[in-house]
Amino acid sequence: MVLELTDEQKIWRETLVAFSRQELDYDMTAYEKGDLFPWEAWRKCAEMQILAQPFPEEYGGGGVDFMTTMISLNALGYACKDAGLVHAIATQILCGLQILHFGSERLKQRYLPLLCRGEKVFAQAITEPGSGSDALSMRTSATKKRDTYILSGSKTFITNGPIADVVIVFAVSDPEKKSLGGISCLVVEDGMKGFEKCRPLKKMGLSTLQNGELFFDNCVVAFEQLLGKEGQGAIIFNESMEWERSLLPAAHLGTMERILEISVTYAKERHAFKKPIGSYQSVANKLSSMKMNLELGKGILYRCAALKDNRKRAALDASICKLFISESLKQACLDAVQIHGGYGYMSEYEIERDLRDSIAATIYSGTSELQHNIIARFLGV
Ligand SMILES: Cc1cc2nc3c(=O)[nH]c(=O)nc-3n(C[C@H](O)[C@H](O)[C@H](O)COP(=O)(O)OP(=O)(O)OC[C@H]3O[C@@H](n4cnc5c(N)ncnc54)[C@H](O)[C@@H]3O)c2cc1C
């Protein structure tokens, strides 16, 4: 198991940190006001091959391992203030992994090069207005009719949804079997009759991330657009969650590192009662807890990467990783605001944005409560 990055990985991380500081350091205010997607930054990331990383070269990919892909997201989480952009990139990569591991050769050839180049934006649609945590109780139906599926229903909160060109839709193909082989996955393209995207939903944070509702009204999808086998949806969902619960925390750990650095600098510079505030134990303890969680987070994250790179299951580890890192990030952001006092609460210092962004991390990709349930299930309770 990897405990230390290789020299090559360190250099790649440094390259991406420098790239982010130079190319992705845009003023977030305008984007936040309009909830706009940073297209230019997206294209620059595509040019840097960030979207292409874990895919084979024959599909236009970078041909690197999962660990290196996580390092890339970690570097972006550290050096790019736009957590919405980083999340959009993670979603794109996740959709590509689903196509790579479950798609037919036709689907791989058709979609992966476009995904790697960022020419098409991808989304995965599981959550519905009536089902989130209990994802597999979804109602969207995929009814077989000759050599097609008729897709009907709606999805919500879908990342990249409002700007998506291609959506991986999970739907019920056999209502009798439901989660036990009755859910299937279809690759739907924007422009297909009966498929409608809505405008982005307003959110508390992650303002550049485009989340929205998707509607399917008797949308006819060709049989060849099926991802994996019919009824394999729950298997794809479970595998996909392992990638997602590692990719997103990789970015979050980067953000934690940035927040820690900013807070340490401030605790040394800011004086109160004639002493730096860092000399007071209640401030220093917040910093040492941040550092401890950062290092512990790395351990579980690298373990997930090692398991996935060796094509092993990582359901338990990914749940621990997601739960621990998302909750640690939220706490780190809260503590950073507190350490910065009134300045921390002001938008100018940009820490309050990290706090607003961090709250979503404990909700998407399965809430913290759900991760506790999964971990408890592994304990047999
Ligand atoms: C920024 C963002 C991006 C997202 N992106 C996507 C996406 O790309 N694709 C997609 O499909 N979905 C996406 N989602 C949806 C997300 O996965 C769901 O919001 C999440 O799974 C929770 O579902 P819910 O909102 O319906 O809450 P609910 O399931 O209604 O839960 C409400 C509360 O009840 C708790 N709860 C529910 N069941 C249990 C239980 N058994 N035990 C203990 N507590 C329980 C939950 O933890 C939560 O606190 C996104 C959400 C956000 C906020």
Whether the CB of 179 sits within 6 Å of ligand 1:
no
CATH at 59: 1.10.540.10
Of the listed ranges 16-25, 31-40, 69-78, the one predicted with least confidence: 31-40
- Confirm whether 358 is domain-assigned: yes
Question: What number is the average pLDDT over the span 321-344?
Answer: 98
Atom 7, ligand 1: residue with shortest CA distance:
158
Cα distance between residue 373 and residue 41, in whole Å: 38
Q: Say if residue 283 is in the same domain as residue 227.
A: no
97, 120, 143 - which closes a domain: 120
Place of tokens 């009134």: 342
pLDDT band (50, 70, 90) for residue 285: very high
Q: At 198, give phi and psi (nearest 5°).
A: -105, 170
Number of folded domains that form the chain: 3
Kind plus residue range of the DSSP H or E element containing 329: helix 315-339
Say how many Å lie between the CA of residue 360 and the centre of ligand 1: 10
357 SS3 class: helix
Q: How confident is the model at residue 2 (pLDDT cuts 50, 70, 90)?
A: low
Average pLDDT on 87-97 reads 98
pLDDT at 286 over 70: yes
Atom index in ligand 1 nearest the CA of residue 206 equals: 1
Structure tokens that stand for 269 in this block = 């510079």
Distance 36 CA to ligand 1 centre (A): 24
Whether ligand 1 lies within 6 angstroms of the CB of 156 is answered as no
**pLDDT recorded at residue 121:** 98
- CB of 373 sitting under 6 A from ligand 1: yes
Q: Which of 89, 363, 368 to mutate to test the pocket of ligand 1 (most atoms within 8 A of CB)?
A: 363
- Looking at the fold, whether 165 and 251 belong to one and the same domain comes out as no
**Inside any domain, residue 30:** yes
370 C-alpha vs ligand 1 centroid, how far in Å? 9
From the candidates 128, 239, 242, 244, give the one annotated as an active-site residue. 244
The residue from 120, 141, 171 where one domain ends is 120
Q: Which pLDDT score, from 0 to 100, does residue 340 have?
A: 98
* Cα–Cα distances in angstroms (integers) from residue 112 to residues 98, 186, 265, 310, 343, in the given order: 10, 15, 43, 22, 45
Compute the distance between CA of residue 266 and CA of residue 128 in angstroms, rounded to an integer.
Answer: 43
**Residue 137 Cβ contacting ligand 1 at under 6 Å:** no
Pocket lining: 55 vs ligand 1, CB cutoff 6 Å: no
Q: What is the pLDDT of residues 148-200, one digit of tens each?
A: 999 999 999 999 999 999 999 999 999 999 889 999 999 999 999 999 999 89
**Given the DSSP bridges, would you call strands 122-125 and 166-172 parallel, antiparallel or unpaired?**
parallel
Indicate whether 335 and 263 sit together in one domain: yes
Q: Is the pLDDT of residue 34 over 90?
A: no
Cα–Cα distance between 231 and 228 in angstroms, integer?
8
Among the three residues 120, 142, 174, which one is the final residue of a domain in this structure?
Answer: 120
pLDDT of 45 over the 90 cut: yes
CB 123 within 8 A of CB 153: no
* Average pLDDT rounded to a whole number, residues 241-246: 97
Retrieve residue 367's tokens: 């809430």
User: Across the chain, how many H-helices and E-strands are there?
Assistant: 12, 10
CA 134 – ligand 1 centroid, Å = 8
CA of 251 to the centre of ligand 1 (A): 20
> Per-residue pLDDT tens for 106-158?
999 999 999 999 999 999 999 999 999 999 999 999 999 999 999 999 999 99
Residue 1 resides in a domain: no
Please give the full DSSP string across 287-301, using - where no structure is assigned. HHHHHHHHHHHHHHH
Q: How confident is the model at residue 1 (pLDDT cuts 50, 70, 90)?
A: low
> What does the pLDDT average to over 302-328?
97
Residue 300 Cβ inside 6 Å of ligand 1? The answer reads no
Distance CA 101, CA 235 (A): 11
CB of 169 closer than 6 angstroms to any ligand 1 atom: no
Cα(255)–Cα(42) distance, integer angstroms: 19
Q: Is 212 exposed, middle or buried (0-12, 13-18, 19+ CB in 10 A)?
A: buried
Q: Is the model's pLDDT at 376 over the cut of 90? A: yes
User: Catalytic site residue 239?
Assistant: no
Q: Is this model's pTM higher than 0.95 or not?
A: yes
Which residue, among 152, 155, 147, has the nearest Cα to 130 in the 3D structure? 155
DSSP per-residue codes, 110-162 = HHHHHHHTTSS-EEEE--BTTBSTTGGG---EEEEETTEEEEEEEEEEEETGG
The alpha carbon of 99 is separated from its chain's Cα centroid by a whole number of angstroms, namely: 16
Task: Give the closest residue to 157 by CA, choosing from 131, 190, 118.
Answer: 131
Distances in Å between the Cα of 19 and the Cα atoms of 25, 41, 46 are: 9, 11, 12
Please list, in sequence order, all residues whose beta carbon lies within 8 angstroms of the beta carbon of residue 373, skipping any fewer than 6 positions away. none
Q: Are residues 248 and 358 part of one domain?
A: yes
Kindly state whether residue 2 falls inside one of the protein's structural domains.
no
Q: Which amino acid is at 285?
A: N
Contact 240, 94 (CB under 8 A): yes
pLDDT at residue number 59: 98
What torsion do the CA atoms of 228, 233, 238, 240 make, to the nearest 10 degrees?
Answer: 50
Q: Which of the 8 DSSP states describes residue 166?
A: E
pLDDT band at 4 (very low <50, low <70, confident <90, very high): confident
Structure tokens at 290: 């941040």
290, part of any domain: yes
282 in the same domain as 191: no
Instruction: Yes or no: say if 195 and 219 are a contact pair by the CB < 8 Å rule.
Output: yes
* pLDDT at residue 157, as a whole number: 98
Whether the CB of 360 sits within 6 Å of ligand 1: yes
On the 0-12 / 13-18 / 19+ scale of CB atoms within 10 A, 159 is buried
Give me the domain span that covers residue 289: 234-378
What CATH number does the domain containing 199 carry? Answer: 2.40.110.10
Interval between CA 223 and ligand 1 midpoint (Å): 30
Cα angle 353-364-126, degrees, rounded to a multiple of 5:
140
How many angstroms separate the CA atoms of 194 and 215, rounded? 8
Mean pLDDT, residues 229-235: 97
pLDDT at 104 over 90: yes
> In whole numbers, what is the pLDDT of the chain averaged over residues?
97
